Structures are given as structure tokens and as C-alpha cells.
């Protein structure tokens, strides 16, 4: 799928136009596409006020569908949020957290021993009940050892990588990350799949676009319902873009990456229309966590008016851009302020497919079909839980948010230059020590104070009224919570990507070092 830009969609459109002889049938089970961006912030879209207005396709998608300004991730870091999306469960339930230290963000670098638990039932496995064919394109991040990979967890196809595109490495102390086609590697980042760290040039987003278009076309021709999980990672540092887009944005290289993703999304939506399956396809766009402000200013996005960013449970770390698009089913140009999160997508997709959710476990998502299809705002008292590792840091109910713990990052890390809230320090709020507020939580009115700068006085009736409504919700949640077995505690150099399946065909197998397991150190 590595076609040059001049050949790309011309050949693709020509091939499909020649092969189509009749419209595909309007299947009862709708197709589902979830587009999950990586470290893209709420404020990166023109429709949310980004002044450069460089996302015309996403802005048009919102104009043709529904904008959800109160949409959240389940964790302010990539791996746990992705695990939550695909299981419908908080990371503390599905095991994507650590108990090595209090309130620490953990993820799946290539030295991680664990991955998604075999006890979890991922969305693509559930969708098989109604004959769905599922593909993931892009970043997996739920474990890179063989038993944790996508095709072992319900997906039928995969093109992408198990980890972030960090590197390049020398393949001696640490191997470069492999890129997979289904069950076997077809190369490694910085080798067969180049990312030029100096210029930022890489055609990975273009490859991911073509993989997505090809999958959609094949399933359309076969008249099978499909689930496409399109998860490009160009906006995660080190950010990259194809040569065609480099230098085009007012926002620098990060903006170049956003522009290419926006273009790619426009191509996918156009493809659905060309295949006449747009009215039988739900497309949902969002991001895995807030923009990584610590990578700024050259490799990070914008969280708009919200406080801090990735790694924190302030609004900038967990409130995400979200657009739902389904011509003929979702009313054009609607905005719905329902509090929602990525775990709702699990339950909603099952509802649309006519599949009952698993009854043997607690799910943290709700069915958003009344919101999407009838423009209702029916879940008025639905809370949003903000977790960091094993700790419930905050809860939102309606317009109010109560912080039970505050922490940006440690003084030690802060003094090294790692800053999750650059230019946004709020005394007593963005604390560098873990401060507990359980007895007297900090409460903000997010409608009036989206930047979480002005806590409501504990002496006011407003504070007491809000506390009386939130406290029972927190008490009930903690009383009934059964944490999953933590999967992100242990690390080992021997489990890195030394010799993935398929390496022998490419002569890319590397020597596996002696196992030396240790407890992973999670500083944040």
C-alpha cells in the first residue's frame, strides 16, 4: 500500500468505480468506524476555536453530524484509555493500571511484561456475534507479546505497530518497534518504515489511510458489516507528516501532522459516500488523551481553555474532541452537551449491532444511541470518573467537578524540565506533591470556570449542595469497585521486540537477552 501521492486516490477511485455495478444492500447491522487520534487536544480543531482553521474536513464532519463538547477519555494516558475504549471498562477494572506506586500513570512500553487480560472481552470479539469483520489500523498499545496482540483479541486484520514510534534505537540495547501486517512483522520503524527525526518526514499516515480505504472497499464489495478501528499516531511526539504536508501549517510540524490526519479523514468519509454506504456507517472521531503540553511548543497540540494536559486529571488531560457522523441518522449540525466518555462507545456499538452486552461484568459505559439518533440529553445525573492509576482523583457531575486528589507531577520531575502545565500553574491546584482533599474536595463550576482556576468557597451553600450530591456517588462507586489484577507492574528487557513473528523471513530477528524482571518505575 505504499503508493506515491500522485498515484494514490486516482488509482483507488478508478478501481472501485470500475468494479461497482450496483449499490451494496442496506444491511441491518451498521458499519462502525472509530477514529482514535493520539495526543490530539480538544483545542486542535477549527470547530472548537483553533485560530489557524486548518481542519476543514473535521469541521465539515461536525457540520454534517454531531459535536460532543463534554466527551472524555478514561485515563490521561494512551494505553489505559485504549483498553477502556475496547473493553467498556475503567482501567482500574480491566487491569490497565499499576500498584507499584500511588496514583501513577502506566502504559505499555516494549519492556512491559503484561498486556490486556485474557478475561476481558474486547469489542471486535463481541461484534463477531453479528458477523462483523474487524480491522485495526495503526497503534495497538495493549501489549506486544504474542498473546496480547489484536488477532488474539477479536480483530480479523491489523496493519500497524504494538507500541509508540519512539526511536531510532541501535537494536543492541533496545530494538526498533516492529510494524505488523496481521500476525507477522513486515519491518521496523526507522528501518523499512522511515521516520526522519530531523525533518519529520514519514509516509505512515498515508499508508494507514490506504489500509483503511482498502479494508472498507473489500467489506463493501463482500456486503459484510465491518468495524474499522483507525488509530494513527502522527500527533504523538516525535510528530511526523508526509512530504506533501510538511511545512504547510501555521502551527509548525505538529500542525502539519494534524492537516494530514484531517485530509485522511476527509478521504475516508468521501470513500464511504462513493461506495454508497455512508448512510449505513457510524463514524466516531475522538482522541486517546489530551495534548501532551510537555512536548511543546513544537510537538504538542492545544487543549483550548482547559487546564494542563496529558498525564493529568485536569480537564486538559481528559476532555477530548469528539464528533459523531452518520448521514441520514444523526441530524446535521447538532451539538449535544451530554457527559460521555470512550467507554460509552463499547456499549453504543453493541446496541447498534443488536448485541446484548456481557452480563458477567461491570461495564462503565452507557448507550448513547438516544443521544446520537434522537438528540436527547437523557443521562442528566451521569458522573465522569477521573482516574490516575489506582486512585480516583476527581468526579464530574453536571457542571461541577470535585477534586479528591491534586497532582501535576513530582518536584523531582518538574525540576528536570518535565512540565504538564506549562504557563498554567494554579496555586493549590496544580500541585507538585500529591495532595489529598478527600475530607474537603476542591470543587469547580466548569461552565463558569473551564480552566479550573477558581475553587468554590467551602463556606457557600453552593459548595455544600454540590458536595451532598457528589459524595453519595463517590461512596457508592468505591464501595462496589472490584479492581482488576494490575497488568502494568512488571518489566523485563527479555520481552522487548527482539524477535517478533515473521522476523526470520525478513532476517530481522535479534538476540534475546537474559531475563531480568523488575518492578516498572512509573514517575508520573
Kindly list the catalytic residues.
Answer: 78, 141
DSSP 111: T
Grid cell locating 440: 474537603
Contact, 260 vs 62, CB < 8 A?
A: no
382 closest CA partner among 160, 132, 71: 71
d(CA 510, CA 331): 53
Burial class (CB in 10 A: 0-12, 13-18, 19+), 63: middle
Cα 508 from chain centre: 30
Helices and strands, number each (H, E), in the chain: 13, 21
Phi, psi of 118 (to 5 degrees): -65, -15
Phi, psi of 246 (to 5 degrees): -65, 135
Residue showing cell 518538574: 414
d(CA 58, CA 73): 19
Going by DSSP bridges, is the β-strand pair 281-287/31-37 parallel, antiparallel, or unpaired? parallel
Q: Please, which residues bridge with residue 334 across strands?
A: 66
Measured CA to CA in angstroms, residue 307 lies from 34, 247, 311, 429 at distances of: 26, 29, 12, 10
If one counts every other C-beta atom within 10 angstroms of the C-beta of residue 119, the result is 12
441 closest CA partner among 424, 428, 451: 428
Grid cell locating 465: 449542595
Phi-psi region of 167 (alpha: psi -120 to 50; beta: other; left: phi over 0): left
Mind spelling out the 3-state secondary structure of 272-311? HHHCCCHHHEEEEEEECCCCCHHHCCCCCCCCCCCCCCCC
Measured CA to CA in angstroms, residue 343 lies from 87, 94, 488 at distances of: 7, 12, 20
DSSP 117: -
Listed in sequence order, the residues at least 6 apart from 170 whose beta carbon sits closer than 8 Å to its beta carbon are: none
Its sign, for the CA torsion 475, 311, 346, 90, is negative
Contact, 68 vs 336, CB < 8 A?
A: yes
d(CA 32, CA 226): 6
Amino acid at each position: 500500500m505504499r503508493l506515491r501521492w500522485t498515484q494514490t486516490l486516482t488509482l483507488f477511485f478508478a478501481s472501485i468505480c470500475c468494479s461497482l455495478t450496483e449499490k451494496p444492500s442496506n444491511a441491518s447491522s451498521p458499519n462502525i468506524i472509530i477514529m482514535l487520534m493520539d495526543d490530539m487536544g480538544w483545542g486542535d480543531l477549527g470547530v472548537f476555536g483553533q485560530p489557524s482553521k486548518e481542519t476543514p474536513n473535521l469541521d465539515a464532519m461536525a457540520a454534517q453530524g454531531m459535536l460532543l463538547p463534554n466527551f472524555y477519555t478514561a485515563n490521561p494516558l494512551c494505553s489505559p484509555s485504549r483498553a477502556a475504549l475496547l473493553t467498556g471498562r475503567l482501567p482500574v477494572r480491566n487491569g490497565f493500571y499499576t500498584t507499584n506506586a500511588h496514583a501513577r500513570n502506566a502504559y505499555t512500553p516494549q519492556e512491559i511484561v503484561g498486556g490486556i487480560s485474557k478475561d476481558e472481552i474486547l469489542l471486535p470479539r463481541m461484534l463477531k456475534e453479528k458477523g462483523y469483520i474487524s480491522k485495526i489500523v495503526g497503534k495497538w498499545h495493549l501489549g506486544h507479546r504474542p498473546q496480547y496482540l489484536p488477532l488474539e483479541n477479536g480483530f480479523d486484520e491489523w496493519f500497524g505497530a504494538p507500541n509508540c514510534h519512539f526511536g531510532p534505537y541501535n537494536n543492541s540495547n533496545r530494538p526498533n518497534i516492529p510494524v505488523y501486517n496481521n500476525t507477522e512483522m513486515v519491518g521496523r520503524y526507522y528501518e523499512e518504515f522511515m521516520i526522519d527525526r530531523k525533518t519529520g518526514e514519514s509516509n505512515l499516515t498515508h499508508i494507514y489511510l490506504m489500509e483503511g480505504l482498502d479494508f472498507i472497499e473489500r467489506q463493501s464489495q463482500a456486503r459484510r458489516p465491518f468495524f474499522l478501528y483507525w488509530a494513527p499516531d502522527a500527533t504523538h511526539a516525535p510528530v511526523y507528516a508526509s512530504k506533501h504536508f510538511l511545512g504547510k501549517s501555521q502551527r509548525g510540524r505538529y500542525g502539519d501532522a494534524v492537516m494530514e490526519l484531517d485530509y485522511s479523514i476527509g478521504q475516508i468519509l468521501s470513500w464511504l459516500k462513493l461506495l454508497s454506504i455512508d448512510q449505513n456507517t457510524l463514524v466516531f472521531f475522538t482522541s486517546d488523551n489530551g495534548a501532551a503540553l510537555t512536548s511543546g511548543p513544537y510537538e504538542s497540540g492545544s487543549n483550548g481553555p482547559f487546564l494542563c494536559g496529558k498525564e493529568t486529571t485536569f480537564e486538559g488531560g481528559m476532555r477530548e474532541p469528539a464528533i459523531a457522523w452518520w448521514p441520514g441518522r444523526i441530524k446535521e449540525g447538532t451539538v449535544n452537551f451530554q457527559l460521555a466518555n470512550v467507554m460509552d462507545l463499547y456499549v453504543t456499538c453493541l446496541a447498534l449491532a443488536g448485541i446484548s452486552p456481557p452480563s458477567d461484568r461491570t461495564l462503565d459505559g452507557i448507550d448513547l444511541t438516544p443521544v446520537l439518533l434522537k438528540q436527547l440529553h437523557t443521562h442528566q445525573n451521569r458522573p465522569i470518573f477521573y482516574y490516575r492509576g489506582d486512585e480516583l482523583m476527581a468526579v464530574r457531575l453536571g457542571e461541577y467537578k470535585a477534586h479528591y486528589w491534586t497532582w501535576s507531577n513530582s518536584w523531582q520531575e518538574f525540576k528536570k524540565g518535565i512540565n504538564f502545565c506549562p504557563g498554567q500553574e494554579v496555586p493549590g491546584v496544580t500541585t507538585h506533591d500529591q495532595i489529598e482533599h478527600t475530607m474537603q474536595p476542591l470543587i469547580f463550576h466548569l461552565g463558569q470556570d473551564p480552566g479550573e482556576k477558581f475553587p468554590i468557597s467551602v463556606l457557600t451553600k453552593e459548595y455544600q449542595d454540590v458536595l451532598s450530591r457528589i459524595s453519595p456517588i463517590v461512596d457508592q462507586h468505591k464501595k462496589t469497585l472490584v479492581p482488576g489484577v494490575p497488568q502494568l507492574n512488571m518489566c523485563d528487557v527479555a520481552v522487548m521486540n527482539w524477535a517478533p513473528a515473521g522476523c526470520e523471513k525478513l532476517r530481522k530477528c535479534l538476540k534475546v537477552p537474559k531475563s531480568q524482571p523488575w518492578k516498572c518505575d512509573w514517575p508520573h
